[in-house]
Amino acid sequence: MALHDVRLRINGTEYTGRVEARKTLADFIREDCGLTGTHLGCEHGVCGACTILMNGEAVRSCLLFAVQADGAELMTVEGLADGDRLHPIQQAYWEHHALQCGFCTPGFLMTSLVFLRDHPHPTEREIREGLAGNLCRCTGYQNIVAAVAAAAEALASGAHPDFFPAPARPTASVEQIEATEDAVPAAHGAPADMQGDGATGAKKAGRRGARGATTPRGTARRTRKPKG
């Protein structure tokens, strides 16, 4: 099967790799780039564990192919903290015990980041609605809601002006994504079920082969050091 060149930036570092068209973005991030903080749960875009930021907006990385992210700017959970200094949202989750097993936490953190950027003074109802696309089987959600509310207060104080990603670039159009989807052989994709929670959608990769691409683990090359 033909391999395709992929070049993208994750957390300020540029990565390049060669992948099959069917390889999901989540698998590329984890296996080729070695960034395993992005978790895979349902692999159907339902649980939200694989949520990352693509060009400033939250997306399900299990529903995107790596080739669709060529040229994109990504942010994963590894990009939140500044060394040993936690992001205010991470700090709030820690202080309010908003996790137990922690498997869903990366997705919740990335969803919370974009939600608080767009809703700096949310009500409890708005927080619950904003997190509705992420599932947790441990906490019962109450502590997660409390943590997001606390993070909103901390961020609204103006003490952390540089902790939000820029909004989506206008060049990342639906037409471009659809054109890339049409180029992926239909034999390697499931029916065109679209993501249904309002985040950037993509056709689901078929479960057969989605995890079985031939690119060896950890082969994506870093071509630039992180900024700062």
Per the prediction, the chain carries an average pLDDT of: 81
22-71 tens-digit pLDDT: 999 999 999 999 999 999 999 999 999 999 999 999 999 999 999 999 99
H or E stretch including 91?
Answer: helix 88-95
CATH 1.10.150.120 region(s) of the chain? 80-156
For residue 210, is pLDDT > 70?
Answer: no
pLDDT band of 81, cuts 50, 70, 90: very high
Q: For the chain, where are the E strands, in sequence order?
A: 3-10, 13-20, 51-54, 57-60, 73-75, 221-222
pLDDT of residue 206: 35
Question: What pLDDT is stored for residue 9 in this prediction?
Answer: 97
User: What's the pLDDT score for residue 160?
Assistant: 59
Instruction: Identify the sign of the CA torsion 24, 25, 31, 36.
Output: negative
pLDDT grade, residue 225 (50/70/90)? low
Q: Which pLDDT band holds residue 194 (cuts at 50, 70, 90)?
A: very low
Distance CA 203, CA 37 (A): 23
Range list for CATH 3.10.20.30 in the chain: 3-78+169-216
pLDDT above 60 (res 188): no
State the CATH class of domain 3-78+169-216.
alpha beta
Q: How far apart (Å, rounded) are the C-alpha atoms in residues 93 and 97?
A: 6
Q: Which amino acid is it at 171?
A: T
What's the rounded Cα separation, in Å, for the pair 205 and 65? Answer: 7
80-156: CATH superfamily: [2Fe-2S]-binding domain (1.10.150.120)
Does residue 221 have a pLDDT over 60?
yes
Q: Residues, the chain, total?
A: 228
Give residue 209's pLDDT band: very low, low, confident or very high (50, 70, 90): very low
Which whole number is the average pLDDT over 170-196? 43
